[in-house]
Structure 1
Amino acid sequence: MSEAHTEQQAPEGAASADSGMLDELTGSGSGADWLARYTGSLLGVFGIPQRVLVRGSGCYVWDADGQQYLDLLGGIAVNVLGHAHPFVTSAVAGQLATLGHISNFFTSPTQVALAEKLIELAQAPSGSRVFFTNSGTEALEAAVKLARRNSTPERHRILALDGAFHGRTMGALALTSKEAYRKPFEPLPAGVEHVAFDDVDALTAAMDETVAALVIEPIQGEAGVRPLSPEYLRAARELTRRYGALLILDEVQSGIARTGRWFAHQWVDGVVPDAMTLAKGLGGGVPVGALVTFGEEVSALISAGQHGTTFGGNPLATAAGLATLHVLETSGALQNAIDVGGYLREQLAALDGVVAVRGAGLLIGVDLDGDHAAAAVQAALTAGFIINATGPATIRLAPPLILTHEQAASFLDALPDILAAARTQQEAPA
């Protein structure tokens, strides 16, 4: 069995020693105890958590009450190698024991090597560069600054798409289209316009010499896993090139092998962006993001002193990134994402109560025949599966890329009962 399909164990002795030390620091308790402490100590921006998770191995996690779950969300497309992968665990522990953080007055071998690897995997031209961040939204903030550096008094507009989600910091939020996210924080940075999703005519009408950048997700994750068509991506590339605008691709959720290619845009021949944002799966669970600029001209838009970060690209985060990419590259995980993802989409589409299935690789959106997606998430938890609702009638799957056919089949076998329970709960009197 390949490394990609093997349940992972932490290095011998490390898990028990670390667990014992942390138990002394945190204390212990049931899930209910921890949730009471949570509500008394953390800002309530996420509401009340669904469960208190205490450990993981491979594609499984366990909560504070000992219940096991098959993790089909992967920390929202983050845990590409599952939980506690031994190679990543060893690389991170070894790096932290050697050199964890140094600030960006200095560099480290892991920072340089990870930048080189990303440029290689992106098949980026000579002169391409990388700026490391701590998260996807910070990568988008850097991309907004890049777009501003491509601006002139005449070229000042930034285009994004209806349904877009690019983050919650102010620049990224300006690119995000969801009114509920935007309205409490208006006025947002000016100059951003949203155009219709996957509509070439609308994009053509919006594009001219006043556009500094077009920022798009090849697959909109938060909107319900909605892929842009190849025709749209090609039109976006041609129009931005024609008018001197930057094509910035947000691959935070769709990148790092999630779709069976290193980056989702690589499924479409001839589409090479001017810049690309990454995060989520890049560190295999350790926070790290990146802005990749393609070619010398775009890379020169931001110069010394015009942007920065304290933690971005530190030795610990970049060691995690290098280890994660190495395992993905050598374990067959990209092909596994294609194979298991294709199996899941085919089987899901055949189920009663499912009206549409979208996505690529192991990024999958499932539309249900009613507004019971939130109830389905709760029913799935009861049955031992972690999934996510992106809308009233849509669930999202973004599991580890090591998910096996057998694990996928266990979810498919349970899903009819999960959906039946969700319908019953949705229809019950309030």
Structure 2
Amino acid sequence: MSPRAGTPGPASPGSPPPPPTSTLAFVESPVQLLNVLEWAHAHGLAAGGRPGAGTGGDTVGVTGADAGGDTEGVTGADADRGSVGVTGADAGGGTGRTAGGVLAGSPAGRGVAGRAPEGAGAGARDRLTLVVLSPTDPMTRGQLRRMAELARDEGYEVRWEEARGGATAPFQTIGGLTGALRRADRVVMGDPFSRYVQLLLTITRARDLVVVDDGTATMEFVAQLARGERLVRWHRKGGRPGPRDLLFAPVSAAARRRLVPDSGRGGRRVEVFSSMPIEESPDGVTVTANHFVWTRARFGPPRLTGGADLVGTSLVETGVVDGDRYLAAVRALAAAHGATRYFAHRRESADKLHRLAVETGLEVVRPELPLELIARRGPIGRTVVSFPSTVVHTLPLALAGTDVRVAVCDIDPSWLTATASPRAEGFLSGVTGTARDVQRVAGAVLPD
């Protein structure tokens, strides 16, 4: 039997060691990058680059939302813009501290430069390069830069691509990555719904494909793959495809076929690395559980406050939940649980957060790292209340062994907009219903 691709085979006495496996990981969000680090730790991949070494001389981990000036008025790093009750990790803008008190790249963050994860065996010869396909959203960029700094402190190579920096940027990015894609033995991706990733999948010859969590969307991806459906994000399902969807349909279909395992000679293996409940998976797909072992090893345990914290969601921004009803629900939850802080989702709009801070009195915090890391480091409330989202699945894992109680508030059907996908109510209910180790709390009954 030939050795599994990506794992060095046995060497005969005196023979040179087998060449290292080349792994390319494509990420577009901070959570995706975190889950690639968790995947690498779980599979015993050694760090592939020298500490702090990157490609192209990119500056990563600079204070502020983004070294390139990508800041929003709602962050505390720019306090002179008149934000009300809205703070970032560093209102002074000069210490480099992230929310929760972690200095990216410092001993406090427990990043061990150049050290392979515990238990690294044959896979320690694997070489992992993280490719950040940078979005344009300022807060996402800021969190990505801090996560990239942590990855570099772990010794991994990080390649920052301004993939959306103008009309010609996609062509330059894809052209620059084509050679590495064709040489890669394994490709790891965080968002199989991404058109960028789908296009890259049509180029690669890698026989090992890995999908790491991009939040609750992973549940829908696996279900669609199992049913042989086209890949459509859950909040858009049921809608009529637009012109761009129709134009891109052949590429999307080709990418979906690439994500189906092939058991033939020299076939293709597909792994899903997830902390989500996977109820149906395609034949031949390996599902590996993400227990956030790296996060718990590198951060915390957290210092707990006596109160409660609320976790925000971008359901208003995606057109699923009505903005006024969402604000009323937040106000009711804060009063019911004695919450004082609101951890904003990175895609929540500055206008909405400003209004929320004024009308609820909550301190709105823009985390500079994914909430799993912020909560693990602390300080964090003894109760964390969230709407249906990824964190109701991930926080109990990241906070295992602590006294933090995670609670989830259902989305009342009356909060949904008239344009919300027909799939929305069932999907959100499933996110809540399948969450483990969380407490269900009743949402406010809002007047019409």
Both proteins in one fold, TM over 0.5: no
Structure scoring higher RCO (CA < 8 A, sep ≥ 6) equals 1
